[in-house]
Amino acid sequence: MKERLQKIIAKAGIASRRKAEELIKEGRVFVNGKVAKLGDKADPYKDTVKVDGEIIKPLKKKVYILLNKPLGYVTTKSDDKHRPTVMDLLQREEKKALFPVGRLDINTEGLLLITNDGEFANLITNPKIKVEKTYLVKVRGIPDKKAINRLLEGVIVEDRKLKAESITLLGHKNNAWLKVVLTEGKKNQIRRMFEKVGHPVVKLKRIKVGNLEIGNLEPGKYRRLTLQEVEELKSLASKEKKK
């Protein structure tokens, strides 16, 4: 049965569906020797589909990893600036066909999912599916009630509205610690939001995605998700998708 190419690529664990669309647009995908176009379909069991010259095949086993990303690592499979990537933290046998789900910037640490299941990645990162992501945030100064309300209502940054789902003040001396929950996933969202209200971020760590918590996992360490954890997260995302 024929399916859209981005879905075939995602199912094969090459990339998320959105990234697969980019690969197609860049002319890096071929079907039976011809350059593919966005919207093209193929049968993964009958047609020859290549990405960057490599034939892709349906996955036999899906892998789901929870990593505690340390500072100083970029969230990509490779880096043209030769910086360390999160993939460097995995054992050699773990790396094949895996990719990060979404991104944490180089100066952000914490919970990062890595998988070879493109459909799963698309479900978690799709902006229309509001899976909660929880962060611990240290900012300069102490945001007052007015500043926090602005962030909850939404602030305009570069013509885009950025908002938090909830913000809890955890404690402060000269600088405040807060727990921030997002249901969006825009680039550098928390940093840009707090910069807008005059409280630049000093430290940022993601501690929870949906039902998954980082717990006491040490920086740079990772573990496989259980089947129950994966199914719970998929179920949670699917419920949000139906809202």
| Cα distance between residue 189 and residue 183, in whole Å | 11
The candidate with the shortest Cα–Cα distance to 118, out of 7, 235, 231, is 7
User: Where are the extended beta strands (E) located within the chain?
Assistant: 3-4, 29-31, 34-35, 41-42, 49-51, 54-55, 64-69, 99-100, 109-115, 133-139, 155-157, 160-162, 166-172, 176-182, 201-209, 212-213, 222-224
Measured in whole angstroms, the distance separating CA 59 from the mean position of its chain's CA atoms is 21
Spatial neighbors of 221 by CB under 8 A, at least 6 apart, are 67, 68
Helix/strand/coil for 4: strand
Q: Which of 40, 105, 117, 144 is labelled catalytic?
A: 105
Query: Are 178 and 207 within 8 A, CB to CB?
Result: no
Residue 105 is among the residues annotated as catalytic for this protein: yes
| Cα distance between residue 169 and residue 137, in whole Å | 10
Active site residues: 105
